[in-house]
Amino acid sequence: MNAQDLAISLVYIAYALAVLLTFGAILTWVERKQAAIMSDRIGANRAYVRIPFTQVKLIWLGLFHGMADGLKLLLKEDFKPLAYDKLAYALGPWLAIVPVLLVFAVVPFGGTLDPGRLFPSLAGWFGGRTYPMQIAPIDAGILIVFAFSGITIIGAMLAGWSSANKFSLLGALRAGSQLISYELVMGLTVLGIVLIFGTVNLGTIVEQQSGTALGFLPAWGIVYQPFAAVLFLIAGIAENKRIPFDLPEAESELISGYFTEYSAMKQGVFMLSGIHRDRGHRCAVRHAVLRRLQPAVDERHRLRLPGRPRPATQSRLGRRAAVADLPRQGLPALQLPDPRAVDSAALPLGPAAALRMEVPAAAGHCQPGRDGGCAVGAAGMRRAMT
Amino acid sequence: MSLPPLTTLPNPIRPAFTKGLTPGSVIVNIGPSHPATHGTIQIVAEISGERVVRTDVHCGYLHRGFEKECESHTWHTLIPYVDRLNYCSALINDFAYCEAVEKLMGIELTPRCRHLRTLLAEYSRIADHLTCVAAALMEMGAMTAFLYLVTIRDYVYEHIADLTGARVTHSYGRIGGLARDLPDGWLQRLEEILDQMDTFVDRVHGLVDRNRIFIDRMRDVGVIATAEAINWGFTGPILRSTGAPRDLRKDTPYLSYGELEFEIPVGIKGDNYDRYYVRMREIDESKHMIRQLIDMLQPGPISVDDRRCTLPDKQAVYTEIEALINHFKLIMEGPQVPAGEAYSAHEGANGELGFYLVSVGGGVPWKVHCRSPSFVHMGGVHRMLDGYQLADLVPTFGSVNMIGGECDR
């Protein structure tokens, strides 16, 4: 690896982390607002940023709540239980979050980057090298996703076991059994995609989805494998322990499940890992595999989501979840730049690319199971308040 | 690395068991500091995996000496204490207590007072059932349904506050009458709220009644048979959910219930779903009764004209010596209740709410005993918890609607 490769990798990593952490906050906000609308409430609208030396308070529909929550969690006392296994207790949150972040190493988030074309002044240094927009273009893409995301189970189990609390232990047992069972479903549903495309390399899979099937259907994985896609969605929700699969947390009987004894940012890390794990899976597998990534921009100028099958489980209380339509949720209708002006061979590493990658994933995240599902938001909120 | 030995405080209670029946089972202490136990109940549960083998329910964490405290208050000034028994439907407590005192004094209420008390009791029952169903739903994760029901309950509370001056603990009953008459427009607002209630309650019916997740968690969970429920002294919606149509409003009609037309909803097997449904149906019946009572209400005095208990008109107190003395006697010494004892029971939102009073004459009770349904239910609730999953403990306990205030007194 030479200096140029290293520079590009670092830029990618910084980009992935920045997008991840920002979107964690924004998705929480979307979740809260959505839940609020469904239950006739207003939702988060209190936190604000005051412009210094003025009385101008920026509320921005409560978008700063994520920041406020994060800040508060960082500043809270890290209260530890009386008797616990110190090593495992400290290791738990990290084992939960680090593999989740690592998953994003193999997620492709764009086409091929030609840094020389993007920054002509650096053309000489890069010498015509091009890079796929992926932190680690590894052949074993999907396998890596599953390998890493499987590790998070250990984090949950360790956390539950080391807290020396029966509720934590019960939550950990539930988490373990639930995650392992649904990991199986997840793996099997993706197996169909692997058979169809004949590869586990995520980049190649994405490329293969750019054609058409039967002459008129887009050759997306979801067209080939609709049933698997639905199963995958359900398994994904279950993996992430979101309502109605929130048995490991089960706040009404197990208080907080395996992270009952964690406080402050350690608890926050567990919550973050849930959100990111969700997105990691979706980005990696549903977005990249079940949906073609790159040339699809042509038809979709606006960030409007095409309908996609929703799992039956999402109507937790018989009510249809509002499709996460970002413009309707109050965000300004974002307009992508005219994609024809963008050379798809050399996608710029800019906001347009980021949005193209993230918005379907983001909307997808909050879509299923969110109905009545304010409970997660509210529970999280309540936990964050305690 | 091995876990260090647990250093815990000695358990302050003596549970019925300290060792599991099988080597694989674990004894878990649920509560009193647990989200599902209202902070007032301790459930010592032996669990084997996720299955609850047996439970031992302890109450008393909210004991505040209500019955003893009553002995140092006049018959009137203990009414605010009575409010704090079942604080979800405080008016029913007020009226049940007042009726017991009136029984001792041999007072016949005015028709308007009787109808108004009945109306308000049913209104409180609605608020109580809304609270119970909402809380039970929330504990299962149905936050939206919870918020719908609590919205309408808040309308009810605000509306009752217009009449009584307080949202939760109203202190509105008086011996021989009520604190004050209805303000203008109160009945119109009542009609509006009943209509809005239809909307909100229908929404909740639509959300959960045929919802698979809800049914799976409620149906055939926490089952109790009629015979067993009667043996344990269960009353109210829990007994009715088993199929026994026992309701004091029908069996021993008090207030205006004899003149009203209403049904007693019963369940079919006494599980959580039946208890939910009985409560929802009782809300409908209460609405039906309130609508009848609105038509029955006629203008007239709301308190009996009896100077043993009713405060004289304020204008008279300022102008006539007899009224002034009467006022002072009632305030300083309390209503003069003849010696004797009386038991009076009303159908509270949770079941039979009875007051057993002993008087030795004078303005202060010798003994006030409250037969609170929640306390009796706590005696037998383990029969509904044993043998089910740990997760079932929460909806079952929620559907019992234990109210710490009246359970521990």
List B residues 371-390 in contact with A (Cβ-Cβ < 8 A): 390
pLDDT at A15: 87
Whether the predicted pLDDT of A314 surpasses 50: no
Whether the predicted pLDDT of A325 surpasses 90: no
Angle at A375 between CA A372 and CA A378, to 5 degrees: 130
Scanning every residue of chain B, which has its alpha carbon at the shortest distance from the alpha carbon of A85? Answer: B3
Q: Name every chain A residue with its beta carbon within 8 A of the beta carbon of B30.
A: 253
Whether the predicted pLDDT of A36 surpasses 80: yes
d(CA B125, CA B264): 14
Amino acid symbol at B223: V
Whether the predicted pLDDT of B355 surpasses 90: yes
Return mean pLDDT, chain A. 69
Scanning every residue of chain A, which has its alpha carbon at the shortest distance from the alpha carbon of B7? Answer: A83
Provide the pLDDT confidence category of residue A353 given band limits of 50, 70 and 90: very low
Angle at A124 between CA A119 and CA A129, to 5 degrees: 75
Which of these ranges, A24-28, A105-109, A269-273, A347-351, has the smallest mean pLDDT? Answer: A347-351
Pairing of strands B42-48, B51-58: antiparallel
pLDDT at A316: 37
pLDDT at A279: 56
Q: Name every chain A residue with its beta carbon within 8 A of the beta carbon of B391.
A: 247, 250, 253
CA distance B286 to chain A (A): 26
d(CA B213, CA B140): 9
Kindly determine whether residue A317 and residue B50, on different chains, have CB atoms separated by under 8 Å. Answer: no
Q: pLDDT tens for residues B389-402?
A: 888 888 898 888 88
pLDDT at B189: 92
Kindly determine whether residue A253 and residue B206, on different chains, have CB atoms separated by under 8 Å. Answer: no
Which of these ranges, A77-81, A367-371, B21-25, B328-332, has the smallest mean pLDDT? Answer: A367-371
CA neighbours closer than 13 Å in the CB half-sphere of residue A212: 4
d(CA B290, CA B123): 7
Whether the predicted pLDDT of A362 surpasses 60: no
The verdict on B7 touching A (C-beta cutoff 8 Å) is yes
Question: Is A326 within the bounds of a domain?
Answer: yes
Angle at A296 between CA A275 and CA A222, to 5 degrees: 65
The verdict on B71 touching A (C-beta cutoff 8 Å) is no
Predicted complex ipTM: 0.74
The verdict on A31 touching B (C-beta cutoff 8 Å) is no
Q: pLDDT tens for residues A249-308?
A: 777 777 777 777 787 777 777 777 776 665 555 555 544 444 333 333 333 333 333 444
Whether the predicted pLDDT of A202 surpasses 60: yes
Question: Is A17 within the bounds of a domain?
Answer: no
Question: Is A108 within the bounds of a domain?
Answer: yes
Question: Is A169 within the bounds of a domain?
Answer: yes
Out of B26, B142, B393, whose CB is closest to A253? B393
Beta bridge partner(s), residue B356: B343, B369
CA distance A235 to chain B (A): 17
Q: Which two tokens stand for residue B100?
A: 């017991």
Among A164-173, A214-223, A338-347, B122-131, name the most confident range. Answer: B122-131
Q: Name every chain B residue with its beta carbon within 8 A of the beta carbon of A371.
A: 144
Beta-carbon count within 10 A of A348 CB: 16
Q: Name every chain B residue with its beta carbon within 8 A of the beta carbon of A172.
A: none
Burial annotation A211-225 (CB, 10 A radius, 16+ → b, else e): eeeeeeebbbbbbbb
Q: How far is CA A95 from CA A271, B96, B128, B369, in A?
A: 13, 59, 46, 58
Q: What is the mean pLDDT of residues A347-367?
A: 35
The values of phi and psi at residue B327, to 5°, are: -60, -50
Burial of residue B27 (CB within 10 Å: 0-12, 13-18, 19+) is: middle
Out of B3, B34, B143, whose CB is closest to A255? B34
A132: left (phi over 0), alpha (psi -120 to 50) or beta: beta
Which of these ranges, A210-214, B83-87, B221-225, has the smallest mean pLDDT? Answer: A210-214
pLDDT at A367: 35
Check: CB of residue A38 under 8 Å from CB of residue A323. Answer: no
Question: Is A38 within the bounds of a domain?
Answer: no
Q: What is the mean pLDDT of residues A228-237?
A: 85
Q: Name every chain A residue with its beta carbon within 8 A of the beta carbon of B394.
A: 252-253
Tell me the torsion sign for CA atoms A150, A153, A155, A158: negative
Kindly determine whether residue A375 and residue B142, on different chains, have CB atoms separated by under 8 Å. Answer: yes
Kindly determine whether residue A40 and residue B143, on different chains, have CB atoms separated by under 8 Å. Answer: no
Whether the predicted pLDDT of A60 surpasses 70: yes
Question: Is A225 within the bounds of a domain?
Answer: yes
Give me the helices (H) in A163-214, please.
166-197, 202-208
Which of these ranges, A6-20, B6-20, B105-119, has the smallest mean pLDDT? Answer: B6-20
Amino acid symbol at B208: V
Q: State percent of chain B over pLDDT 90.
A: 40
Out of A41, A253, A378, whose CB is closest to B36? A253
Q: pLDDT tens for residues A146-185?
A: 888 888 888 888 888 888 888 888 888 888 888 888 888 8
Check: CB of residue B286 under 8 Å from CB of residue B126. Answer: yes
Q: State percent of chain A over pLDDT 90.
A: 0
Scanning every residue of chain A, which has its alpha carbon at the shortest distance from the alpha carbon of B31? Answer: A253
The verdict on A42 touching B (C-beta cutoff 8 Å) is no
Give, as one character, the DSSP assignment of residue A47.
Answer: -
The verdict on A25 touching B (C-beta cutoff 8 Å) is no
Burial of residue B216 (CB within 10 Å: 0-12, 13-18, 19+) is: exposed
The verdict on B51 touching A (C-beta cutoff 8 Å) is no
Check: CB of residue A79 under 8 Å from CB of residue A39. Answer: no
pLDDT at B289: 92
pLDDT at B12: 65
Residue the block writes with tokens 């396998």? A143
Whether the predicted pLDDT of A382 surpasses 60: no
The verdict on A39 touching B (C-beta cutoff 8 Å) is yes
Q: Could you give the number of structural domains in chain A? A: 1
d(CA B191, CA B177): 24
Out of B34, B139, B151, whose CB is closest to A40? B151
Provide the pLDDT confidence category of residue B6 given band limits of 50, 70 and 90: low
The residue among A177, A199, A16 whose CA lies nearest residue A169 is A177
The verdict on A88 touching B (C-beta cutoff 8 Å) is yes
Provide the pLDDT confidence category of residue B5 given band limits of 50, 70 and 90: low
CA neighbours closer than 13 Å in the CB half-sphere of residue B152: 30
Range of the domain at A207: 78-385
Return mean pLDDT, chain B. 88
Whether the predicted pLDDT of A374 surpasses 50: no
Question: Is A36 within the bounds of a domain?
Answer: no
- pLDDT higher for B375 or A308? B375
Question: Is A116 within the bounds of a domain?
Answer: yes
pLDDT at A1: 66
pLDDT at B300: 87
The verdict on B154 touching A (C-beta cutoff 8 Å) is no
pLDDT at B292: 92
Tell me the torsion sign for CA atoms B347, B351, B355, B356: positive
pLDDT at A292: 35
pLDDT at A329: 35
The verdict on B9 touching A (C-beta cutoff 8 Å) is no
At residue B150, the 3 state secondary structure works out as helix
Q: Which two tokens stand for residue A358?
A: 């993230």
